[in-house]
Amino acid sequence: MTELAERYETEPPGADFETRVFSHLPATGGRGVHVAWGTAVAAALVLGLFLGQANRWEHPEQAANESALAVSEPVLAPVERTVRLAFTAGEALDDVTLTLSLPPHVELTGLPGQHQVRWQVSLEQGDNVLALPLRILFPGAGELVAELDAEGRQKVFRAPIPAYPGADNALGKEKEPAT
């Protein structure tokens, strides 16, 4: 009741408030005033009890749904991991098309919702290491597929996606990413 009163500010009653209210009551030697006050207090108590208990009353289906929600699994937060891919080139190559394909539960950090990304790169002779910041949205299986296309020559590389922390994989342990 006090919460309800705090929500709605009211102006304080004027000096003639009681006179105006009680002037409409029949003159019964003052007894009517006490009955009116008693009825008002009783009504206020009943209203207060009703409002106080209203939040405790619930429909059986609603109670079942709320208890089912309380038992549901926790929400998983995305996890960021870095996968390093190493490409060895026998000679320096310019304008190589690199295409990355990711499973549905993984995306590149900074490119949300994109599961295939393509861009032009230059490879130096020898080892070329590419560190990819991945965002693993939820546990799941899959692999990262990297395709290089240089002047009509194509090479495909596959690397496992790091396991989501706490998720069991087929071997029961996390694998190191392949390069």
Domain with CATH 2.60.40.10 in the chain: 79-160
The total number of residues shown for the chain amounts to 179
CATH pick for 79-160 out of 3.40.50.300, 2.60.40.10, 3.40.50.150, 3.40.50.1100: 2.60.40.10
pLDDT digits (tens, 9 = 90+) for 109-154: 999 999 999 999 999 999 999 999 999 999 998 999 999 999 889 9
Is pLDDT of 42 > 80?
Answer: no
Compute CA distances 82 → 109, 131, 132, 136, whole Å.
10, 6, 5, 10
Average of per-residue pLDDT values in the chain = 76
Is pLDDT of 59 > 80?
Answer: no
Compute CA distances 132 → 42, 109, 147, 162, whole Å.
71, 8, 14, 12
Max intra-chain CA distance, the chain: 114
Is pLDDT of 51 > 80?
Answer: no
- The residue written with tokens 């060895």 in the block is 88
- Structural tokens at position 50: 């009703």
For residue 166, name the pLDDT band (cuts at 50, 70, 90). Answer: confident
Higher pLDDT, 94 or 54: 94
3-class secondary-structure state, position 48: helix
Is pLDDT of 173 > 50?
Answer: no
The model's pTM: 0.52
For residue 169, name the pLDDT band (cuts at 50, 70, 90). Answer: very low
Is pLDDT of 36 > 80?
Answer: no
Phi, psi of 85, rounded to the nearest 5 degrees? -110, 135
Phi, psi of 21, rounded to the nearest 5 degrees? -70, -50
- Structural tokens at position 76: 């998983």
Higher pLDDT, 62 or 141: 141
Q: CA 79 to CA 135: how far, in whole Å? A: 6
Phi, psi of 42, rounded to the nearest 5 degrees? -60, -45
Higher pLDDT, 163 or 15: 163
